[in-house]
Amino acid sequence: MTVVTELRIALTVDDFDAAVALYRDALGLAQLEDWSSDRGRVLLLDAGRATLELFDAAQAAMVDDVEVGRRVSGPVRFALRVADADATAAALVRAGASEVAPAAVTPWGDRNARVAAPDGMQLTLFSAAEVS
């Protein structure tokens, strides 16, 4: 059996500087490596623990409906756990993202906000429900 030890997402963007400003500078993903060369630019950013969520079309539509009110996301959407979904969404909008939907409480108790990065990637920012 193969054991995966790391999930790494390779995101190709048209505006590298805008992506760095959003993901590293505004969102706070720590820079682990800079493998840029005269052939191209690449940064490795630490996004914490990684998981892979597999959705069917019906579930993706349900999540879009809960977070946005209509079907808007493509086949890939980042979901990032943050301490404060509202504050993080506001910081990302100031850094060049666009608001897709303001934060709302989900049926499962999390507080989720949706923004779109300048490259079009949709990001769900979620603050986990307090467990009592």
pLDDT digits (tens, 9 = 90+) for 42-72: 999 999 999 989 999 999 999 999 999 999 9
- For residue 80, give the DSSP letter: E
In degrees, rounded to 5, the angle at the alpha carbon of residue 31 between the alpha carbons of residues 117 and 111 is: 45
- And the tokens for 47? 């996004």
Q: How confident is the model at residue 131 (pLDDT cuts 50, 70, 90)?
A: low
102 has a pLDDT exceeding 80: yes
pLDDT digits (tens, 9 = 90+) for 9-45: 999 999 999 999 999 999 999 999 999 999 999 999 9
Element housing 61 (H / E): helix 57-67
Whole-angstrom distance, CA of residue 20 vs CA of residue 8: 17
To which CATH superfamily is domain 16-127 assigned?
Answer: 2,3-Dihydroxybiphenyl 1,2-Dioxygenase, domain 1 (3.10.180.10)
Whole-number average pLDDT of the chain: 94
Domain range summary for the chain, segments of one domain joined by +: 16-127
Share of the chain above pLDDT 70, in %: 98
Element housing 86 (H / E): helix 85-94
Give the β-pairing of 122-127 and 77-81: parallel
132 has a pLDDT exceeding 60: no
106 has a pLDDT exceeding 60: yes
Whole-angstrom distance, CA of residue 79 vs CA of residue 126: 7
